[in-house]
Amino acid sequence: MSVSQFKSAMECEARMIAELKGEFTRPQSTALLVGSYLHAAIESDEAFNRFVEENHKWIFGSRGAKYKDFEKADDMITTIKNDRFCQFALQGEKEVIYTGELFGVPWKIKVDNINHEKCYFSDLKSTQELRKRYWSEKYSTWVSFVQAYDYVLQMWVYREIIYQNTGRYYEPYILAVTKENPPDKAGLHFDHSRFDFEREYVQQMLPSIIEAKQGKKEPHRCEKCEYCRSTKVLKGTFEIEFLLD
Report the residue number, 186 or 222, with the smaller CB distance to Zn ion.
222
Shortest distance in whole angstroms from residue 9 CB to Zn ion: 10
Specify whether the CB–CB gap between 13 and 209 falls below 8 A: yes
User: Quick one: 12 or 89, whose CB is closer to Zn ion?
Assistant: 12
In angstroms, the CA 85 to CA 234 distance is 55
Contacts (CB under 5 A) with Zn ion, residues 59-88: none
Number of residues that bind Zn ion (CB under 5 A): 5
* 48-83 residues labelled b (16+ CB within 10 A) or e (exposed): beebbeebeeebeeeeeeeeeebebbeebbebbeeb
Q: How far is 222 from 14, CA to CA, in rounded Å?
A: 8
Q: Does 220 bind Zn ion (CB under 5 A)?
A: no
Stretch that binds Zn ion, among 14-22, 47-55, 63-71, 87-95 (CB under 5 A): 14-22
- Strands 171-178 and 120-127, how do they pair? parallel
Calculate the alpha carbon distances from 205 to 87, 92, 210, 212 in Å.
Answer: 36, 33, 9, 12
Comparing CA positions, the residue from 38, 1, 183 lying closest to residue 123 is 38
Please state the closest distance from residue 224 (CB atom) to Zn ion, in A. 6
**In the set 3, 9, 10, 12, which binds Zn ion (CB under 5 A)?**
12
Smaller CB separation from Zn ion, 172 or 219? 219
Burial of 168 (0-12, 13-18, 19+ CB in 10 A): exposed
Rule CB under 5 A: is residue 17 a binding residue for Zn ion?
no
Nearest distance from residue 243's CB to Zn ion, in Å? 17
Asked if residue 228 binds Zn ion (CB under 5 A), the reply is yes
- The residue within the footprint of Zn ion, chosen from 105, 143, 210, 225 (CB under 5 A), is 225
**Shortest distance in whole angstroms from residue 225 CB to Zn ion:** 3
Binding site residues, Zn ion, CB under 5 A: 12, 15, 222, 225, 228
